[in-house]
Structure formats: C-alpha cells, structure tokens
Structure 1
Amino acid sequence: MSSASTSETDARYRYACEIARAAASRAYSWYQQRQKLVVEHKRDLQDVVSEADRNVEDLIKTLIAERYPDDAVIGEESGGNTQGATYVWVVDPIDGTACFINGLHNWCVSLAVLCEGEAVIGVVCDPNHQELFHARQGQGAWMNETRIHAHNAQHLNEGLLGLSNSSRVPSESVTSLITGLTAQGGMFIRIGSGALTSAWAAAGRLIGYYEAHMNPWDSLPGIVLMREAGGVTNDYLRNDGLKKGNPVLLANAAIYQQIKALVDNSALLD
C-alpha cells in the first residue's frame, strides 16, 4: 500500500469508528422503542428486517457519502455497486435483528472497509455494553482503548467456541461439528449475531468462531479483528465471497486446525 493510500486508510479507520458509534446510538434509540417497530420477513420466518435496520443503514450511507462520495457501499438492506471503487464499505446496520426486536442484547453495528479488494478495517459496535471493537490492518485489534488478543487455547476443551447456523446450507454442516466438538470435551455458544460473536473471539472471550455460510457485512469485520488479534482465518473473499458469501472460520492457529478437521466443507476453508 502506498504512503498516500495508507494515510487515506487511516482516515477511514478513524471515521469508521465514528460512524459505528453514531449508528449504534441511533440503533439503540430504536431499540428502546422496539415495541413500535414495523417488522418484515425476508427469506424465511427467521430472517427479519425492521424499519430500524433501514433507517440506520441510511444514516451510515449518508455519513460515508458526506466525506467519501467516491467510495462504494454495500449494505445488507440496500445492496450496492462496487465497480471502479478503490475503497468499498461493507455494512450491516443491525446484525442480530431477531435479538434486537425481541429485547435481547446480542446485536451490534458491523462495518468493514476494503481497499483494492482487501479487507483492511473492521469495526463492531455493541451499544448495550458500550464496547467498540476495532482493527486496522497492521495496527492491532482493540476493544475501546484496550488491546485485544485471540485466546491462547491449544485444545477444543479449553474454552467456548462460537457457532452459528445458516438456512442457506444443510444443517449437517454445523451438527457434525457439534458432534465432533462435544466428543472432545468442547462446548459452544450461539448468541444470534455472527459479527458480535466473532468480535468476542478476537477479544479472547471465545476460542474461535465458525459459520458454514456468512454474508460479507457480518463476516469481514471479525476477520480483520481476528487477524489483527494474532489469530488466523480462512480466505473468505475467494470464489467471489464478496458477492456470494462463504464459510467463516477464525481462531488461533492451533484451534483453527482442530476445527477445520471437524468441518465437512473444509475444502472451502483453505
């Protein structure tokens, strides 16, 4: 990366943190009046969207356009076109909408920025716990002002593994992993927000995170966070992952290999 683009990326990193805080504040205001929300279903009864999602995404896109009008934006609710853009913002205004509308605290604002096709910034903001997870390529990963690091577990039974399932892939992709994990004395947790769970993994609260299929607006922030926290991840963007999504696996090097050995679609995780 040239010195000019490094400076430009640093500026976007600072602004991404500002945007995430502003969006999380807006989302939290909606959360406090969630009983009044208009809620719709997308692909199935578990895939929901509310007027809060669209309102917060509009805010994020407006803030990006004000400062970086030439940057592209891909939003979960509104899509986007990346053609010709050096910088691409990938945003989920509320990851964990089902938790959000049901009064559970497991939701967040999720942002990532790509430069020339590479994920270089990841930000996850959890307003319920006043925690901002943020990372910039080459500058480490942080929770608010505290440096974070991946868990140092060397075996699957040394902590909790974050998991999620997706209706876009067969359920066996996660049930086989659970069987293998529990057989080795491991335990798992699913909270309803992949972006927040992966941030927890980057912070060492979990030994890792796996999901058989994840969209880019949920996956890319955690991928940047984990890499900067000293862990490893699969090559998520391969095979047109930005458009189609891909599996996500992130953990320290030892746990990564142990989880990969239990996953049916491990060929996609190389």
Structure 2
Amino acid sequence: MSAISHSTPSPMTMTSEDLDRREKTLVALIREAGALAQRAFAIEGGFEMKGPQDFLTVTDAAVETLVRERLKRLFPEDGFLGEESGGTPGEAVWVVDPIDGTANFARRIPHYCVSIAFVGGNEMLLGAIYDPVHDELYFARAGRGAFRNGMEIRVAPTAAAGSACVELGWSTRISNGVYLDVLSKILGTGANVRRAATGALGLAYVADGRSDAYAELHMHPWDCLAGLLLVREAGGVVCDFLGRDGLESGGAVLAAAPGVADLMIAASGIERA
C-alpha cells in the first residue's frame, strides 16, 4: 500500500466552509463515479479473484482512480484510503470503496454502489453512497441528518422481532461456525434475515427504513463508514467502529433501528457506541 501525506488540517482548525467545499465536491464526484461504473456495467465482460469470494473487475480500479485523482487535485492536503490502491490513514482522510457489491456487479446483478466517507480526527464527518442503477444518492453530514436524493430519511419504527427484517453480512475472516451461530440466534428471535451482498447499501437501507438492522462480524472501513454515518444521522443505533481502531484494522459492524438494537446486540455480541 502506498503512503499518504499526514500534513492535513486538524478537525479543530477545519472550518464549516472547509467542510462545505468537501461536501459539494463529494456529492458531484460520487455521481460522476457512479455514472462511470454504470456505463461499464452495461459492457463488463469478466472478473478476477483476489481471494475466496473476493471479486475484482477493471471497473473497480477505474472508478477509484477517478476519485483519487480528483480529490488529490482539489484537496492535496487530505489523505486517501481506497479498497484497491490502499493508503495510510491520516488526521483527515477520504475512505473510498469504488464498487461495493463487486460480486453482484461482475455477475450482472444490478445491486451495487459507490461509497465514499470523509473522516477527520477519528470522527465520521461526511458520507455518501450512490446506487447508479436506481439513481439513489444517500448523503449525510455529521449533525445535519441523512438524506436520499435530497429528502430526509429516518430509520424504521420496528420494535417487534416478529416483524423485523434484518441483514447479516458474511466475511471470510470469520469462521463459518461463528457466523452460523449468530444467524441462528437472530432467526431464533423470529426476525427475518437476508443477505444482498453489498454492505454499504445494506447500511443505507437501514438509514432509509427499508431494513431494520445490518450486522457483519468484520468489515473494512471503506465498506461501512459512510453507511454508519447515515444510520447514526437517521436516528439509528451504531457501533463505535472508529473507536475500536476500525480505520486501521477494520472490525465488526452493527447498525440498527432503536427498536431492534438490543436483539441484534444480543445475537451478534457487537456493542453499541
């Protein structure tokens, strides 16, 4: 992984105007990145494997290059951490997943997204997730709410396990036995469990009330930071991913509507922030 600069302004000195500039850039750039991905989706003809069930297409690299080079030109003082090109987390850093749901993308399943977060001082400040197939742009800024295509969104009011529909992500870093134990515990409450193979959109759907919770026993920061900010700003319960060194090492993820949070915490063993 390539090193990045640490000569970034601290969040204490970053003004509202500084974040305004980054917000405006993020909203425009993620749409541009999504358009690039969607054009390729129409003609993509193959993929490679980075590891077991870990897909890679040429579009992943192309989208990440677009985002990285644009941010480097506009905000050279900021760091960059991407799924494909790596990086070293700094005081202020953009965290990018060029295509979340690459397995879907590679197999012509129209359920994938671009996910970008901006972190400063170990705090989630900006987050955006764009689904170019359905032209749905999710955006959140710390303290200002969560939105889909400019309309404010909130987590679901679901309180009963018997009416809950949750998503459980799967990771090769966790043994099948542990995963199946958590799955069994959730099903035992009466909740329905699904898996759609894009954690970022899974988190966005919790923020939007389309799903009641999302949990995964290990995620990389580029997969989850934007989504965690969305859920938090939409009134949901989230784990303390960054407080557990998630930016450096990744870790377990939990995001839930308040009414089903205790259910998910008990089943998964993941604590709330």
Shorter-chain TM-score: what band? over 0.9
- 1:53 equivalenced with 2:63 (yes/no): no
CA distance in 2, matches of 1:249, 1:140: 19
SS at match of 1:259: helix
The one-letter amino acid paired with 1:237 is: L
**Aligned counterpart, 2:20:** 10
SS at match of 2:229: helix
**Aligned counterpart, 1:41:** 49
The one-letter amino acid paired with 1:77 is: E
* Contact persistence 2:127–2:225 (CA under 8 A): yes
- 1:159 equivalenced with 2:164 (yes/no): yes
TM-score by length of 2: 0.92
Matched positions, count: 263
**1:145 positional shift:** 1.5
1:47-100 Cα offsets, whole Å, 9 max, x none, are 0111110011000001101210111000000101234xx420000000011100
TM-score by length of 1: 0.93
Point out the more displaced range, 208-217 or 233-242.
233-242
* Contact persistence 1:57–1:92 (CA under 8 A): yes
**1:137 positional shift:** 0.4
**1:110 positional shift:** 0.5
CA distance in 2, matches of 1:89, 1:4: 15
CA distance in 2, matches of 1:239, 1:145: 32
From 211, 214, 217, the counterpart of 1:206: 211
Show the 5 A alignment for 1:140-219: 140-219=145-224
* Contact persistence 1:162–1:201 (CA under 8 A): no
Question: Structure 1 vs Structure 2: percent identity of aligned residues?
Answer: 34
The one-letter amino acid paired with 1:5 is: T
**1:6 positional shift:** 2.3
Give the unaligned 5+ runs of structure 2. 1-10
From 5, 15, 26, the counterpart of 2:36: 26
CA distance in 2, matches of 1:238, 1:87: 15
* Contact persistence 1:247–1:269 (CA under 8 A): no
Show the 5 A alignment for 1:212-227: 212-227=217-232
SS at match of 2:118: strand
